Structure 1
């Protein structure tokens, strides 16, 4: 049945809204999964996702291959080796009210054909982990990643005493995967931050960030003190197993039965779960832990409710990103009162000027909060807050601080209204809307506004771009906004690959928060300043090698972080072309579009010379991205970036690429064939399936037509599968797809 389109906006407006939603959601995912940071609360994130799903239903052509509605997690970096999960590692859908939860339960029982039992367990705010055991021994531990491929953190997991390296007991299978959550208890998190503060290291914002930050780090190159601190953090991590992955014929009929079995083998399962026989009983479990959440040993942000019968899991199935037999109920955030000391404005990577509330430190939902976003000047007015007010503060989703409004009764007449500044606080340019009707004000000095340059440089070093280890928030701020010298090493990102030790050495910097762009404060309330690229040489320090590079005063030595950063920037010059395209900060050009452009054109110069029609015709690009690419190259100082990167040795072309369109004629077992990969294919990410087709000499198409030779379809294939059936195109599954790309079509006969 066709969906009635009740949306009143024009198709062009819908296209623009979809592009904005995808950009916001992708940035939030990148922060959460890639930088262990939260830049938006759960409620806002979920509202974005719900709106995007609605628009994609109404305008199916706007759903791209890498839409957030079809994917899980975020792109992987290169710090850890990739690990392919034997079975997909999905996420969970969320509900936020009793009505939403009851509606979910009604759908489950309707689709199950009757009454079901539910397993209820508290939702741990930690890091998802998959453990693979072979013959009872732990062989691999991996993060969720994008749900298909995670990061190999086995080395670090072996140093966590709470995770068994060998299972004991009867019936342990030859091979199976279990999924769980790694976390710090509330007590251990407090002790960890106390130690961080004692040694002068950065405090962790919350237990989830601490768990992820402790597990996702390498020990290579660390000095003895750093390795000792890393081991100490890992030794405090705990694990609770809450599900299974690949496991042929598990000897249990229920989820609760599996928990009991796993516990007998030595795997830690949650003490906070219960099997109930109705939705109302599950609601009572949710209510109980909502009232007693602080009595649990670890931070929780809700309750997970699952159908207990494993046979129903297969029957109910899953979407492309979440099972239909489980749901996460998110608790409303806690609230406290605190004093609003000031409202300051910060400018981000895209030039948006955002007001932030600066408050008296307040403990809310387990962590100390000093700052919170107010989004824009209209939101400040709508909330009705005055500088000096006592305000109500909450942690939205128990993660993101949010100012709800003032306590008007406590006003004494000394409060004053916030006035949005006319000029950019970083460069002095006049703030203005990007276009008529926009509420947000932006700094138009995109070329050299220090705040925007800082954001772009940090983006260049991120996992989804050039993945330059050491080029993070502190380094980006140091290179673009140092306290001295007067002229920063990077006025724009054009000089990134020309950096020298002499430029790095004298830098002092105010450390800024990556989410707010505001200066971090020490416990005394002073700005946190550092000299990230040098350290004082102690004459009695045996760790100082006399062969180290000295610059300036002989009492100071260039830090190891500086030399490693320069080496990593040099290494990044030979990155794949698509990574450079992402690093250029072209709007809408993420990893998928960048790969498509790089594979088709083979060089930045060919992309620059292409017409709109040629760009838009590339599979996975289209008109919106084509316009963004053309607009980017029309800016004169963007040409300077490309020229200086090329002059410095950056490889802005794929060696041996014969020119535009050559991607379809690469020799291989699929030469001359067009293949569409859709849905979830075991053993392949979405990008991985396309790369496999191209590597084998085929054309990886995004739409099904009469010219399509094969459609590789997995769960979530949707309309492409239906169209293939209508056109009589041969449909193959994941196993056949693997044979096709490795052996050719004859392997399917």
Structure 2
């Protein structure tokens, strides 16, 4: 049909023009000509709605309003990076690398100051975008990413492809947005990174389109399955697919050459049209990346050199204490407001009593302040030479500033704790944590509202959150509360009852139990009752749960108040089990298994899920502790390493024969 053919031609033509304009910065047509083609496409799509396509250039303008963001589980975790702050740190990194894998080449890239993103293409089409989130679970922001015109909606590669990178806001667009916000009397964004992160999480994609975000992609996941052996070649392949990468990248033979490159980059940093906060150094050879592997948090084959933080002088006016949800006491410096790295700073953490003593920080001192990692303000040092006799040494209190309860400092810990379970500060902070996005994700019940409802007597315990539905009329009568907003909050609270066990565990704020540990515990025990019966010795045997964490878990469940909390939550209908399925005993049970190569009969995610049903711990890297490596076509470095280490290998066909013996769907 002629109309269908012309629609396809126009879409390809407009994608080509966008690539030339937004990626190459070399437009081949005038804006007027682009608009003419765009208008023709709009008219044809309107006349022939059967040929509508969500990835059409006409759909990039946004307009979709979402109620919230769906969760996305990353098949391969989006890990953080280790940091280097000087040449000595880089030399230590280099020495470790060469000791383990011999000679390497280093790929040096700009560290873009934005928001990490994952893009998924299938059959040559863009199908999904997800934020990094906690590295394991992110949020689906597909509609918003479609508005970024430098990201192609179609590529010349039909194999499923995941590409990771950074969404950012240019300096020029950041200035424009803040000028517009100032004109409307709105609060200004602190910096481009915050603006980009806030934009990508807008529920209205039309607002995102107005922000004019951009992106650089810097990782092709599982590049070996595309016949690629080097990271630099993977980026070149992305270039050929018209996927935007940063052209400012360098190959270096030695760490000294890397350092020289870093010095050159630091000299031109301020002239760039976007913000960078450092430089990323990666081993270029993918096979050696595999051999180096990763820790739980960071890949061992890359490191980020962070530019020295801006340091400014101000006066420390006072030291005040805050009380966290676990009772932990944190001293904070009250500062004369000063601008640091683009934002006004009037407070900074002092961490604990030992830090204050070691740095000899006194009230009324002139101090040097910077932002650690260009995010968290910290006091670097006191300017003792500027003391004038008005300075007062700080005496750490022995009682809680909120409830007056006794403060305790546990052995082997630097922090003090308020041990009064009924301390109001602990109660409020525990409710804020419980309702937070990473825990129970109770939308509309944020920090300010919890504090307000606590002050009004509505919220005094976590259980009170689930009693709010009995006080709807009282809530509506409050100033600033409307029927719609109250009902939305109550609906979010009701919906949270369906959250799985790992969310509840993290939400309860057990000391030493973060998001990852909560997931491990939920997967291992399946139900709250089973976990509550686990002994300290049993807990210690779990991978990634150490002795200190095990004791903290056992202490938490031995406390009668916590047992009552769990009983009350059950009574209000809170789910107390995980989403894990029953394991089937097999030769893979409690074994570490690695998948490598291109599988012909399974999607990688399906094979992983199947192995987990059979009790396996599926890992991303091969080591001496690996029990099986299952390989498909084009298996590369992982299979080679398995053979070198004497790890048992299994072809996809042999794996299929093996699993036929078990009743697995």
TM-score by length of 2: 0.73
Secondary structure, counterpart of 2:378 in structure 1: strand
124-133 or 407-416, which moves further after superposition? 407-416
Alignment size in residue pairs = 579
For residues 524-563 of structure 1, the C-alpha deviation after alignment (integer angstroms, 9 at most, x for no partner) is: xxxxxxxxxxxxxxxxxxxxxxxxxx5367xx65264432
Aligned partner of 2:250 in structure 1 is 274
Residue in structure 2 matching 1:350, options 320, 323, 326? 326
Does 631-640 or 296-305 show the bigger shift?
A: 631-640
Contact residue 89 and residue 245 of structure 1 kept, 8 A: no
SS at match of 1:129: strand
Cα distance between partner residues in 1 of 2:73 and 2:530? 34
Contact 2:223 2:234 in 1 (8 A): no
What is the root-mean-square deviation in Å for CA atoms of aligned residues?
Answer: 4.5
Query: Where does residue 210 of structure 2 map in the other structure?
Result: 232
Structure-2 residue corresponding to 1:719:
625
Contact 1:679 1:715 in 2 (8 A): no
Partner SS state of residue 408, structure 2:
coil
Structure 2 unaligned residues grouped into runs of 5+? 1-67, 629-641
Query: Does residue 641 of structure 1 match 2:565?
Result: yes
- Following TM superposition, by how much is the alpha carbon of 1:335 offset from its aligned partner in structure 2, in angstroms? 0.8
| Contact 2:112–2:277 (8 Å) recurs in 1 | yes
In the other structure, the counterpart of 1:80 is 70
Q: Shift in Å at residue 693 of structure 1?
A: 5.8
Structure-2 separation of matches of 1:319 and 1:618: 19
SS in 2 for 1:420: coil
Distance 1:228 1:126 in 2: 20
When residues 390 and 461 of structure 1 are mapped into structure 2, their CA distance, relative to the original with a 3 A threshold, is: same
User: Partners in 1 of 2:142 and 2:467 — Cα distance?
Assistant: 37
Matched, 1:441 2:347: no
1:491–1:689 CA distance, 2 compared to 1 (3 A): farther
- 2:54 is aligned to none
- In structure 2, the CA distance between the partners of 1:505 and 1:181, relative to structure 1 (3 Å rule), is farther
Contact 1:145 1:151 in 2 (8 A): yes
For the residue of structure 1 that corresponds to 2:466, the secondary structure is helix
Q: Aligned to 2:389, what secondary structure does the other structure show?
A: coil
Check the 8 A contact 1:713/1:731 in 2, yes or no: no
Aligned counterpart, 1:650: 574
Cα distance in 2 for partners of 1:407, 1:141 equals 48
**Alpha carbons of structure 1 residues 203 and 384: separation in structure 2 relative to 1, 3 Å:** farther
SS at match of 1:138: strand
SS class of match (1:468):
coil
The answer to whether residue 479 in structure 2 is matched with residue 496 in structure 1 is no
CA distance in structure 1 between the aligned counterparts of 2:446 and 2:399, rounded to whole angstroms? 27
Which of 150, 156, 173 is the aligned partner of 1:188? Answer: 173
Distance, in Å, in 1 between the alignment partners of 2:101 and 2:526 is 51
Q: What CA distance in whole angstroms lies between the structure 2 residues aligned with 1:200 and 1:734?
A: 64
Query: Displacement, 1:327?
Result: 3.1
Structure 2: distance between partners of 1:477 and 1:688? 44
Return 458-467 or 351-360, whichever deviates more: 458-467
1:681 deviates by 4.8
2:198 pairs, out of 210, 213, 225, with 213
Which whole-Å CA distance do the structure 2 matches of 1:588 and 1:740 have between them?
43
1:300 Cα offset (Å): 1.9
1:97 aligns with 2:86: yes
Residue by residue over 1:80-138, the C-alpha shift from the partner in whole angstroms, topping out at 9 and shown as x without a partner, is 232545x6655443322212323444555666655x65432221122222223345432
Distance 1:629 1:384, change over 3 A: closer
- C-alpha distance in structure 1 between counterparts of 2:413 and 2:229, whole Å: 56
Alignment of 1:90-489 (within 5 A): 90-105=79-94, 114=103, 118-134=106-122, 136-145=124-133, 150-167=138-155, 174-193=159-178, 204-219=189-204, 229-233=207-211, 235=212, 237-247=213-223, 255-256=231-232, 259=235, 262-263=238-239, 265-308=241-284, 310=285, 317-320=292-295, 325-430=301-406, 432-435=407-410, 439-446=414-421, 448-480=422-454, 482=455, 485=456, 488-489=457-458
Spell out, residue by residue over 1:173-212, the C-alpha distance to the aligned partner (whole angstroms, 9 max, x if none): 6543332211122343344455556656665554334323
- The structural deviation recorded for 1:631 is 2.6
Q: Distance in 2 between matches of 1:252 and 1:150?
A: 27
Q: Quick one: distance in 2 between partners of 1:621 and 1:311?
A: 31
CA positional deviation for 1:280: 2.8
Query: Does the aligned pair in 2 maintain the 1:241–1:268 contact within 8 Å?
Result: yes
Residue 374 of structure 1: CA displacement? 0.8
Gaps of 5+ in 1: 1-77, 220-226, 507-549, 656-662, 703-711
- Alpha-carbon distance change, 742 to 567 in structure 1, aligned in 2, over 3 angstroms: farther
**2: CA distance, partners of 1:313 / 1:619:** 26
Q: Displacement of 1:678 after TM fit?
A: 2.5
In structure 2, the CA distance between the partners of 1:247 and 1:149, relative to structure 1 (3 Å rule), is: farther
TM-score (ref. length: structure 1): 0.66
Give the Cα separation in 2 of the matches to 1:585 and 1:672.
35
Q: Matches of 1:600 and 1:105 in 2, distance apart?
A: 38
Using the alignment, how far apart are the partners of 2:299 and 2:535 within structure 1? 43
Q: Distance in 1 between matches of 2:367 and 2:273?
A: 30
Match of 1:582 in 2: 506
